[in-house]
């Protein structure tokens, strides 16, 4: 190992080798200087620095880059490739409004004289004229909607609804973009074998590649109360509506069975008076000897309520 180290040190001490590397380096520098001193023609994307934009307007970011063909020396091209160049457009002097856009329609000579020095020759601009789409700033609050797939463990269910905090999102941006947004969805979430309360952070599906829009939040907290559920059944009296005047009906049975699901905590709170069942005589025909019961009112605490009987036999007595 020491022998190798000594050989390396000896190599660097060799004057011939040192002179060779010095001349090689100087040759490279001279070559680069010669190359960069020459004139080159190329097309490069320029950014746009917008100044004095009217406060009531916002320029959309889909119109902030133009392609300019230039002829200049290599040193200037090197600086352009190192940092993206920009041109400055003054919206109080250089543009005019036409319908729903701003238009920059200056000549190549004007741009060459005002934005570039004498070492740069501007050959072409694309697009020409330059069109700037704009919108009026708008603020809109839209609701959050959920994409959830909840699979409950046997005997469990949700009490109430899934809620999110916050329940809405404020969107700020050009009116032509904001007006198209009516809600914001969450990313899909799947819950399996759920038997406890849900509390989960959900990312919002925000529009992609729309830097003109700002959203108040990027995620929400989803919550849902989960409880043990059981089935209940009650006998509910019903009412016949829209029967002909001066007509008496006899029907059987007098009650219908209504089954429902309810949480164990609320099982004893459910009463027969909380349900309402009607039979609409207008929905029968002359050949029909039965009424069809309809469940028109259920308590908020129950789910999947249904009537077991589908027909109520009746006869008309005068």
Q: 137-179: per-residue pLDDT in tens?
A: 888 999 999 888 999 999 999 988 899 999 999 998 888 888 8
| Start-end of H helices in the chain | 2-13, 15-37, 74-82, 108-115, 175-178
Q: If you average pLDDT over every residue of the chain, what do you get?
A: 82
Six-digit token pair at 105? Answer: 């329609």
CA distances for 233 relative to 208, 264, 268, 308, angstroms: 51, 14, 12, 10
Q: 152-163: per-residue pLDDT in tens?
A: 999 999 988 899
Residue 16 has a pLDDT of 56
pLDDT band at 32; cut points 50, 70, 90 = low
Q: Of 159, 176, 165, which Cα lies nearest the Cα of 143?
A: 165
Given a cut of 80, whether residue 223 has pLDDT beyond it is yes
Residue 269 has a pLDDT of 93
Helix, strand, coil percentages (3-state) for the chain, rounded to 5, are: 20, 50, 25
Most confident of 116-120, 125-129, 225-229: 225-229
**Percent of the chain at pLDDT exceeding 90:** 37
CA distance 125 to 115: 13
Is residue 256 helix, strand or coil?
A: strand
Residue 219 has a pLDDT of 94
CATH code of 38-128, in short, is 2.170.120
DSSP at 3: H
Residue 37 has a pLDDT of 55
Residue 122 has a pLDDT of 77
CA distance 129 to 49: 17
Given a cut of 60, whether residue 273 has pLDDT beyond it is yes
Given a cut of 90, whether residue 299 has pLDDT beyond it is yes
CATH entry, 138-228, from 3.40.50.10160, 1.10.1740.10, 2.170.120.40, 2.60.40.10: 2.170.120.40
Specify which residues 189 forms β-bridges with.
148
Q: Of 8, 30, 12, 31, which Cα lies nearest the Cα of 21?
A: 12
Residue 209 has a pLDDT of 65
CA distance 280 to 278: 6
Rg, the chain, Cα only: 39
Contact 221, 204 (CB under 8 A): no
Given a cut of 90, whether residue 74 has pLDDT beyond it is no
CA distance 204 to 130: 35
CA distance 106 to 90: 12
Residue 25 has a pLDDT of 57
CA distance 32 to 207: 47
Residue 23 has a pLDDT of 57
CATH entry, 229-317, from 3.40.50.300, 1.10.10.10, 3.40.50.2300, 2.170.120.30: 2.170.120.30
CA distance 8 to 15: 14
Q: 84-105: per-residue pLDDT in tens?
A: 778 788 888 888 888 778 888 7
Tell me the torsion sign for CA atoms 102, 108, 112, 114: negative
More confident residue, 208 or 185: 185
Phi-psi region of 155 (alpha: psi -120 to 50; beta: other; left: phi over 0): left
Given a cut of 70, whether residue 184 has pLDDT beyond it is yes
């Amino acid at each position: 190992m020491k022998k190798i180290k000594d050989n390396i040190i000896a190599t660097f001490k060799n004057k011939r080798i040192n002179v060779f590397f010095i001349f090689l380096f100087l040759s490279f520098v001279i070559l680069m200087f010669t190359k960069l001193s020459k004139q080159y023609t190329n097309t490069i994307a320029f950014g746009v620095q917008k100044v004095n934009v009217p406060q009531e307007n916002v320029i959309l970011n889909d119109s902030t880059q133009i392609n300019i063909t230039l002829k200049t020396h290599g040193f200037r091209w090197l600086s352009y490739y190192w940092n993206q160049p920009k041109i400055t457009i003054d919206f109080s002097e250089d543009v005019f409004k036409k319908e729903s856009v701003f238009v920059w329609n200056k000549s190549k000579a004007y741009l060459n004289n005002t934005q570039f020095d004498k070492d740069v020759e501007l050959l072409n601009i694309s697009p020409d004229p330059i069109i700037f789409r704009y919108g009026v700033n708008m603020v809109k609050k839209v609701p959050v909607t959920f994409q959830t797939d909840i699979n409950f463990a046997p005997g469990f269910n949700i009490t109430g609804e899934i809620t999110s905090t916050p329940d809405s999102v404020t969107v700020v941006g050009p009116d032509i973009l904001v007006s198209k947004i009516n809600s914001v969805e969450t990313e899909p979430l799947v819950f399996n074998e759920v038997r406890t309360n849900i509390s989960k952070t959900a990312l919002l599906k925000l529009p992609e590649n729309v830097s003109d829009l700002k959203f108040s939040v990027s995620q929400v907290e989803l919550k849902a109360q989960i409880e043990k559920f059981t089935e209940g059944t009650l006998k509910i009296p019903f009412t016949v509506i829209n029967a002909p005047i001066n007509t008496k009906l006899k029907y059987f049975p007098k009650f219908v069975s209504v089954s429902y699901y309810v949480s164990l905590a609320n099982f004893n709170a459910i009463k027969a008076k909380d349900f309402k069942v009607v039979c609409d005589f207008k929905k029968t025909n002359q050949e029909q000897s039965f009424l069809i019961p309809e469940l028109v009112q259920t308590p908020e605490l129950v789910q999947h309520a249904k009537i077991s009987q589908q027909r109520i036999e009746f006869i008309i007595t005068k």
